[in-house]
């Protein structure tokens, strides 16, 4: 029988309310020892989904007013008996309530242990459990929507369809191998290959969303680069919504890398404002320029800023030609000062946005361009997305095995070669959904969670 666990489920900082959550076979009895209802009833007498108002106390006396909410197994988040003790959200109060609960028979919950129990009791699949963490961490509307879809099983349903199809093919091949002497008709290899191709297509479609899914959750490393004085820091400040970087009309103002994370539309950008790219004899500035080039090399997205009010100089041209193999958006800044965009920028194949960072014009166009180049624009939030590296690797492994099975079938290899590959593909799907997964993988998944979830 599992232990009864307890944790503070809300942030440990002053707040209107704070919740201590207790789950496990003794949850209701444990809480009954630290809670005195204003009415006569004990918590042990309450049905599920009922709340009682009263006081929570320890050996020293009353701690706080409290509403105790009782959930009866299996109708709770974890699937076990659970009590949520809602008090005032004070750090001292919550710690003391938790201590009282621990002294009366519960043990401290580990990271993600409540959700781990929900997974183990079949309340959600592993990808759904992972989505709980993404939902908590989501900063944008689309990230939250897509985590909610995953929580409700969007990915699980797609994978289940693949698994069912693979299992039915495996059964046909097994019947063929096991009863060669019976009157089993020859394997319809073409039909089987076509069905496998459908599963392969589903996995390819899922894999193609993995990058956009990751961007939605983790954000994009973004470098703002360009020649001196083109308005990089002004753009940084516009995006940050505050005076994050120093702006002057002196070329070479920014020397070190200035970082800030912002939400642009649905994309979280981890911005680096950098020193203006140019040759300089100034030692300090030269280090800054070197750092700018390094950031540009490692960034996943480059916002390359140009001053549209003057012709391009050699620094601008060098930057433009270095962008060929990058995910980049050309920012043609200072639109308040010019009518026509410099020719060399017009002819570039890269996406471009004309804006005035100083006057805050063109932000919507920039948002649309960034959502487009990162692939986020193509998402609705309802689709099944691969949320993390574990899921991406699992889907890739499954696809590899399906392709190997298709090759085995079409090249007329022994059927058992195809059967082995299909078994591997099924194993990959079961590991993805958590239906057949090692304890090590489960521990790794829940290790990322916070305590109390």
Q: Kindly compute the dihedral angle of the four CA atoms of residues 230, 236, 237, 238, in this order, to the nearest 10 degrees.
A: 90
Stretch that binds ligand GTP, among 60-68, 135-143, 329-337, 406-414 (CB under 6 A): 329-337
CB of 237 to Mg ion, least distance (A): 10
CB of 238 to ligand GTP, least distance (A): 9
Instruction: Decide: helix, strand or coil at residue 188.
Output: coil
Task: Select from 449, 450, 433, 435 the least CA-distant residue to 391.
Answer: 433
| Contact residue for ligand GTP among 168, 248, 298, 321 (CB under 6 A) | 248
Q: Is 414 in the site for ligand GTP (CB under 6 A)?
A: no
| Contact residue for ligand GTP among 76, 82, 146, 234 (CB under 6 A) | 234
321 makes contact, choosing from ligand GTP, Mg ion, none, with CB < 5 to 8 Å by partner type, with none
Q: Is 295 in the site for ligand GTP (CB under 6 A)?
A: no
Q: Is 272 in the site for Mg ion (CB under 5 A)?
A: no
Q: Classify residue 31 as exposed, middle or buried by CB count within 10 Å of its CB (0-12, 13-18, 19+).
A: buried
Residues 235-254 within binding reach of Mg ion (CB under 5 A): 253-254
Task: Select from 95, 96, 89, 97 the least CA-distant residue to 16.
Answer: 89
Q: Is 284 in the site for ligand GTP (CB under 6 A)?
A: no
CB of 83 to ligand GTP, least distance (A): 56
419 and 170 in contact (C-beta within 8 Å)?
yes
172 makes contact, choosing from Mg ion, ligand GTP, none, with CB < 5 to 8 Å by partner type, with none
390 CB-near residues (< 8 Å, 6+ apart): 130, 441, 444, 445
Q: Note the helical H segments in 105-231.
A: 113-120, 126-137, 141-151, 154-178, 189-208, 210-218
Q: How many residues bind Mg ion (CB under 5 A)?
A: 4
d(C-alpha 283, C-alpha 281), whole Å:
6
d(C-alpha 356, C-alpha 332), whole Å:
8
231 makes contact, choosing from Mg ion, ligand GTP, none, with CB < 5 to 8 Å by partner type, with ligand GTP
Per-residue string for binding with ligand GTP, 198-227, x by CB under 6 A? ----------------------------x-
The secondary structure of the chain in percent helix, strand, coil, rounded to multiples of 5, reads 45, 20, 35
Peptide bond into 74 cis (omega under 30): yes
Stretch that binds ligand GTP, among 232-240, 293-301, 363-371, 408-416 (CB under 6 A): 232-240
Q: Is 233 in the site for Mg ion (CB under 5 A)?
A: yes
336 makes contact, choosing from Mg ion, ligand GTP, none, with CB < 5 to 8 Å by partner type, with ligand GTP
Residues 77-116 within binding reach of Mg ion (CB under 5 A): none
Q: Is 333 in the site for Mg ion (CB under 5 A)?
A: no
Q: Classify residue 174 as exposed, middle or buried by CB count within 10 Å of its CB (0-12, 13-18, 19+).
A: middle
236 and 316 in contact (C-beta within 8 Å)?
no
Q: Is 23 in the site for Mg ion (CB under 5 A)?
A: no
- Residue number with CB closer to ligand GTP (167 or 246): 246
CB of 229 to ligand GTP, least distance (A): 4
CB of 63 to ligand GTP, least distance (A): 54
358 makes contact, choosing from Mg ion, ligand GTP, none, with CB < 5 to 8 Å by partner type, with ligand GTP
Give 379's Cβ-side CA count (13 Å radius).
33
Task: Select from 234, 166, 174, 122 the least CA-distant residue to 401.
Answer: 166
- Angle, vertex CA 369, rays to CA 365 and CA 373, nearest 5: 175
Q: Is 47 in the site for ligand GTP (CB under 6 A)?
A: no
Stretch that binds Mg ion, among 192-200, 229-237, 393-401, 412-420 (CB under 5 A): 229-237
Quickly list DSSP for 403-424.
HHHHHHHHTT--HHHHHHHHHH
309 and 335 in contact (C-beta within 8 Å)?
no
Per-residue string for binding with ligand GTP, 352-381, x by CB under 6 A? ----xxx-----------------------
CB of 434 to ligand GTP, least distance (A): 48
Tokens of 427: 């194993």
Q: Is 276 in the site for ligand GTP (CB under 6 A)?
A: yes
Q: Which residues bind ligand GTP (CB under 6 A)?
A: 226, 228-234, 247-249, 251-254, 275-276, 333-334, 336-337, 356-358
The site for Mg ion (CB under 5 A) is made up of 232-233, 253-254
């Amino acid at each position: 029988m599992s232990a009864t666990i307890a944790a503070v489920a809300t942030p440990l900082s002053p707040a209107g309310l704070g919740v201590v959550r207790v789950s496990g076979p003794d949850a209701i009895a444990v809480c009954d020892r630290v809670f005195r209802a204003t009415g006569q009833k004990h918590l042990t007498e309450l049905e599920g989904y009922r709340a009682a108002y009263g006081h929570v106390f320890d050996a020293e006396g009353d701690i706080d007013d409290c509403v105790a909410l009782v959930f009866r197994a299996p109708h709770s988040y974890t699937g076990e008996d659970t009590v949520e003790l809602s008090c005032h959200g004070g750090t001292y109060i919550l710690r003391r309530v938790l201590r009282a609960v621990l002294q009366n028979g519960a043990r401290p919950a580990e990271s993600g242990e409540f959700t781990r129990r929900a997974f183990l009791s079949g309340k959600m699949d592993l990808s759904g459990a992972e989505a709980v963490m993404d939902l908590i961490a989501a900063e944008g509307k689309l990230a939250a929507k897509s985590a909610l879809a995953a929580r409700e099983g969007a990915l699980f349903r797609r994978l289940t369809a693949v698994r069912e199809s693979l299992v039915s093919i495996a059964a046909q091949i097994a019947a063929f191998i096991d009863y060669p002497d019976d009157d089993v008709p020859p394997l319809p290899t073409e039909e089987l290959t076509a069905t496998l191709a459908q599963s392969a297509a589903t996995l390819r479609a899922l894999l193609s969303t993995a990058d956009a899914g990751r961007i939605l959750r983790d954000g994009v490393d973004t470098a703002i680069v360009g020649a001196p004085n083109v308005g990089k820091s002004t753009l940084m400040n516009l995006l940050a919504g505050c005076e994050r970087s120093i702006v002057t009309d002196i070329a070479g103002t920014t020397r070190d890398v200035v970082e800030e994370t912002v939400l642009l539309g649905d994309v979280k950008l981890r911005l680096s404002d950098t020193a203006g790219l140019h040759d300089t004899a100034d030692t300090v500035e030269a280090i800054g320029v070197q750092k700018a080039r390094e950031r540009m090399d490692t960034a996943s997205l480059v916002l390359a800023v140009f001053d549209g009010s003057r012709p391009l100089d050699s620094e601008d041209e060098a930057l433009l030609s270095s962008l060929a193999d990058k995910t980049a958006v050309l920012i043609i800044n200072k639109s308040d000062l010019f009518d026509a965009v410099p020719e060399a920028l017009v002819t570039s194949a890269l996406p471009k946005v004309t804006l005035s960072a100083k006057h805050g014009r063109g932000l919507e166009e920039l948002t649309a361009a960034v959502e487009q180049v990162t692939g986020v624009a193509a998402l609705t939030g309802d689709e099944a997305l691969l949320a993390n590296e574990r899921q991406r690797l699992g889907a890739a492994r499954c696809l590899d095995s399906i392709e190997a099975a298709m090759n085995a079938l079409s090249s007329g290899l022994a059927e058992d070669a195809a059967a082995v590959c299909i078994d591997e593909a099924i194993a990959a799907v079961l590991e993805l959904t958590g239906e057949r997964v090692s304890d090590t993988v489960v521990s790794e998944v829940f290790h990322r969670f916070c305590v109390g979830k």
